[in-house]
Chains A and B, each alone.
With several copies, the nearest count.
Chain A
Amino acid sequence: MPVTQKDLMKTPKKALLKGHFACAGCGSALAFRHAIGSIADEVILVVPASCASVYQGSGKGVAFNVPTVNTAFAASDAVASGISRAMKKKGKSNLKVVVWGGDGSAADIGIATEIGACDRQENILHVMYSNNVYGNTGGQRSGDTMIGARTTTTPEGNTTPRKMVPFIMMANNARYVATASAAYLEDFVGKFKKALSLDGFKFIQIDISCPPNWRCESAHSVKISRLGVQTGIWPLFEWDRMTNNVVLSTPSKKYEVVENRVPITEWTSLQGRFRGITEEEIKALKTDTERQWNFIRKFL
């Protein structure tokens, strides 16, 4: 069920009210607006500690116009499990339980909880929006930080590869796994709605750009996300347990072929987090990108 820009306009209600606390140009808020918006009348949100727990608001009220439970950093998939089971018990299985959290909870502190919920095949969707960093605490390295990125805990550049949680979830036999990008919102919302139509544990990672932590101009937010796909850094795909196959998403198809890819420096040069990146680091980053593609290719 491909989603068009027109479809994006037909939301039951606004999920993200104006005047929220996200930074100007926040890709996470952008993705939230459309995805949660598309099912705003039947969703229950579970939000671990992250920027999303901050940009939703504070004090007077919240910008999230859907039921929202904020949880401890590592607790969200278990809380979501409890909600999903309770709703089942109450005969309200039609409600969609969605975890909306960052890479910190999904890739690091909360991954055991997430793998556990996946293992139990809980009927929930986990959306991991990744800015490749602990944004809320000011930009420390996360498991999803890529090689070469300067963060406040890797000031001279991170040396370890990205964790690639989608692969882990494939290996962990999720019902459905997909990657997405804030530059391709129709693609993202399509995957989001598809995931919600399936029973069991679904996982989507969406890379979103984050001006303060990527140290980029807010105006470049979407552009950088798009370049992430075009440089091949961030391959968009779907994987389904039923087929055990990966299907490359349209925006990424072309970039499987290395020659077709936009040079990585077009992407790095727009971001302060890559200032000072060395040739070797670029090489290592490319090698790790190829590793990811190789993993994907095994399932094509």
Chain B
Amino acid sequence: MSNEKNTAERIRLDLMIEVIQISRGGSGGVTGAKILAEAAMYEGLDAQAIPKYGSERRGAAVEAYLRFDTKPIRVHSPVYYPQHALVLDASLLDRIDVDKVDKDGVIIINSNEVPESLKGSGRTIALVDASRISRELGLILSGFTLVNMTMLGAFVKGTEIVSLDNLLKAIENYWGEKRAPKNMEAAKRAYEETKVVIA
């Protein structure tokens, strides 16, 4: 269960890659994870998106997990030692145990800057102001800025597990003709704007 190999090695060795995602109830995090699993499928990978259900409410922190593998996935547990972390709301960063995230992995954060707690950690951080992008594109529901699709772009940029094309295909497929364009645009813009830095 622990990090036996680093991410680069894992990819080379065809080992499974695991990701933790943290978001707020109502922000579509679970949908995002599902779309990512679909994008990975287009990539030819086997993928799993596991929402951690509890009594999540709108605004409360919600975890989800992702797995990607070149072989069929036979593991069903939550992810304990992820390679990467996807943080849809910077204020939730303290909800995940960063020490359990692979040192060589990427932490993708909806933020303009490296959060205090990570500064000087030497970690690879992918940063994007997804909230702004989403707001600009009008991705708002009942006062809630929907950053889920946007952050997928950042994830793809930060981890390169799936291609942007396949991500866009998955988004398009999920949202359907009418609603896809805005969401694809959000992912694309995030992809472009994401900066990968070493903290």
Is there any pair of Cβ atoms, one from A and one from B, under 8 angstroms apart in the complex?
Answer: yes
Chain A residues packing against B (C-beta within 8 Å): 21-24, 54-55, 58, 211-212, 215-219, 272
Q: With contacts A211-B142, A217-B143 known, is A21 near B58, CB below 8 A?
A: no
**B143:A21 contact, CB within 8 angstroms:** no
**A54:B55 contact, CB within 8 angstroms:** yes
**A58:B26 contact, CB within 8 angstroms:** no
Q: Is B59 an interface residue (CB 8 A)?
A: yes
In the complex, which residues of chain A have a beta carbon less than 8 angstroms from the beta carbon of B12?
A: none
In the complex, which residues of chain A have a beta carbon less than 8 angstroms from the beta carbon of B142?
A: 211, 215-218, 272
Q: Is B57 an interface residue (CB 8 A)?
A: yes
Q: How would residues 31 to 59 of chain B score, 1 for a CB under 8 Å from any chain A CB and 0 otherwise?
A: 00000000000000000000000110111
**A23:B57 contact, CB within 8 angstroms:** yes
**Minimum CB–CB distance for A161 against chain B, Å:** 28
Q: How large is the interface on B (under 10, 10 to 19, 20 to 34, 35 or more residues)?
A: under 10
Within 8 A of A (CB), among B46-90: 54-55, 57-59
- Taking A21-B55, A23-B57, A218-B58 as known contacts, 19 extra A-B pairs with beta carbons closer than 8 A to each other, sorted by chain A number, are A21-B57, A22-B57, A23-B58, A24-B57, A24-B58, A24-B59, A54-B55, A55-B55, A58-B54, A58-B55, A211-B58, A211-B142, A212-B26, A212-B58, A215-B142, A216-B142, A217-B142, A218-B142, A219-B143
**Minimum CB–CB distance for A236 against chain B, Å:** 28
Q: How would residues 123 to 158 of chain B score, 1 for a CB under 8 Å from any chain A CB and 0 otherwise?
A: 000000000000000000011000000000000000
Closest to B57 in A: A23
A147 to B66, CA, bound (A): 40
A272 to B26, CA, bound (A): 15
In the complex, which residues of chain B have a beta carbon less than 8 angstroms from the beta carbon of A22?
A: 57
In the complex, which residues of chain B have a beta carbon less than 8 angstroms from the beta carbon of A215?
A: 142
In the complex, which residues of chain B have a beta carbon less than 8 angstroms from the beta carbon of A24?
A: 57-59
Closest to B59 in A: A24
A24 to B25, CA, bound (A): 11
In the complex, which residues of chain A have a beta carbon less than 8 angstroms from the beta carbon of B58?
A: 23-24, 211-212, 218
A22 to B142, CA, bound (A): 18
A21 to B56, CA, bound (A): 8
A190 to B113, CA, bound (A): 54
In the complex, which residues of chain A have a beta carbon less than 8 angstroms from the beta carbon of B54?
A: 58
A217 to B140, CA, bound (A): 12
In the complex, which residues of chain B have a beta carbon less than 8 angstroms from the beta carbon of A212?
A: 26, 58
**Minimum CB–CB distance for B143 against chain A, Å:** 6
**Minimum CB–CB distance for A31 against chain B, Å:** 17
A54 to B25, CA, bound (A): 15
A216 to B57, CA, bound (A): 15
In the complex, which residues of chain A have a beta carbon less than 8 angstroms from the beta carbon of B26?
A: 212
**Minimum CB–CB distance for A52 against chain B, Å:** 12
In the complex, which residues of chain B have a beta carbon less than 8 angstroms from the beta carbon of A211?
A: 58, 142
Closest 5 CB pairs of A and B: A23-B57, A54-B55, A217-B142, A21-B55, A23-B58
24 A-B pairs within 8 Å (CB atoms) are namely A21-B55, A21-B57, A22-B57, A23-B57, A23-B58, A24-B57, A24-B58, A24-B59, A54-B55, A55-B55, A58-B54, A58-B55, A211-B58, A211-B142, A212-B26, A212-B58, A215-B142, A216-B142, A217-B142, A217-B143, A218-B58, A218-B142, A219-B143, A272-B142
In the complex, which residues of chain B have a beta carbon less than 8 angstroms from the beta carbon of A272?
A: 142
In the complex, which residues of chain A have a beta carbon less than 8 angstroms from the beta carbon of B143?
A: 217, 219
In the complex, which residues of chain A have a beta carbon less than 8 angstroms from the beta carbon of B55?
A: 21, 54-55, 58
A55 to B58, CA, bound (A): 13
A96 to B34, CA, bound (A): 48
